[in-house]
Structure 1
Amino acid sequence: MTFYVENEVDAEFDFDIEELCKLVGDEVMRSEGCKEDLEVSLIITDDEGIRQMNSEFRQIDKPTDVLSFPNVSYETPGDFTVMEGAQRVDLLDPDTDKIMFGDIVINENRVRSQALEYGHSEKREFAFLLAHSLLHLCGYDHMEPEEAKVMEDKQEGILNTLGITRD
């Protein structure tokens, strides 16, 4: 999995952003059984940047912690066979021959504030938001309690496998 990171706000953390993205991204795809060569665009922004995107794309005029914009349309979450059909042509990056999986936007301010609020590291919070977003790109959602439970279990399993815990 390849991440194209645009750090709009020059956020600095005590971990390597691209290394963490690769680690979490590879584990999400491994756990989901996706063997496709994927690329994801990641923007790191602030409250105002994500508020503008949230307003434009979701008609919610307030900041949030993370936004996900999947490129793949699923009938069933995690069923990657949809990338084998006609949709594949539209998903392929002609320059890299990789699947353009989607876009993720992470709010630096929320990474920091939620890490404090939940009593864990900024690395853990960033990894959590990234795993959460990648699961959205895999077709999962959390609008219904049953869906939320599936996503929560998957997120925790991924982070526990990587040893990125709430310490």
Structure 2
Amino acid sequence: MTFYVENEVDAKFDFDIEELAITVASKVLESEGCDYDVEIGLTITDDEGIKELNSQFREIDSPTDVLSFPNVSYEEPGDFSVIESDQKVDLENPDTGRIMFGDIVINEKRVREQALEYGHSERREFAFLVAHSMLHLCGYDHMEAGEAKVMEGKQEAVLTELGITRD
């Protein structure tokens, strides 16, 4: 797996952004049974940057904590067999041979605010947002209660397995 990190706001945390993102993303892919070598873009931005993306792509004119832009169109969440279909030609980076899996955009300010609000570390909040977004890149959603419950369970399982708890 390759992560391309763009830290637009020069965010500084007491953990290595790329290392934590790779650790969490790898665990999500492993737990989902995704054996493909993937490329993921990660952008760290601020309220204004994420608000602009949220407005442009979701027609919601406000900032949010994280946005996910999956490149794979799934028939069923976590069913990676779709990558072997005609989609593979469009998904494969011709220079690297890796699958261009998607992009994650995280709002630095919200990481800090939500960590305080929920009473856990910024590291835990950042890891949660990466896990959450990675599940979106794997085709999961949380628009309905049943879907939300599935995603929440998967997020918590990954973070627990990595020992990233709400301490």
Q: TM-score per shorter chain, which class?
A: over 0.9
Alignment partners' CA distance in 1, 2:25 and 2:68: 14
How much does 1:22 deviate? Answer: 1.0
Letter in 1 for 2:65: D
How much does 1:50 deviate? Answer: 0.2
- Deviations, residues 3-37 of structure 1 (Å, cap 9, x unaligned): 10000000000000111011001100000000000
Provide the secondary structure at the position in 2 that maps to 1:140. Answer: coil
Matched with 2:34 is 34
Alignment partners' CA distance in 1, 2:21 and 2:94: 23
After TM superposition, the runs of 4+ consecutive aligned structure 1 residues lying more than 2 A away are none
Matched with 2:135 is 135
Give the % identical residues: 74
Query: How many residues are paired up?
Result: 167
Matched with 1:155 is 155
Letter in 1 for 2:122: E
User: In the TM superposition, what are the counterparts of 1:53-64 in structure 2 within 5 Å?
Assistant: 53-64=53-64
Letter in 1 for 2:157: G
Q: TM-score, normalised by structure 1?
A: 0.99
Matched with 2:67 is 67
Alignment partners' CA distance in 1, 2:71 and 2:119: 34
5+ long unaligned stretches in structure 2: none
Provide the secondary structure at the position in 2 that maps to 1:120. Answer: coil
How much does 1:2 deviate? Answer: 1.1
Q: TM-score, normalised by structure 2?
A: 0.99
| RMSD (Å) for aligned C-alpha atoms | 0.4
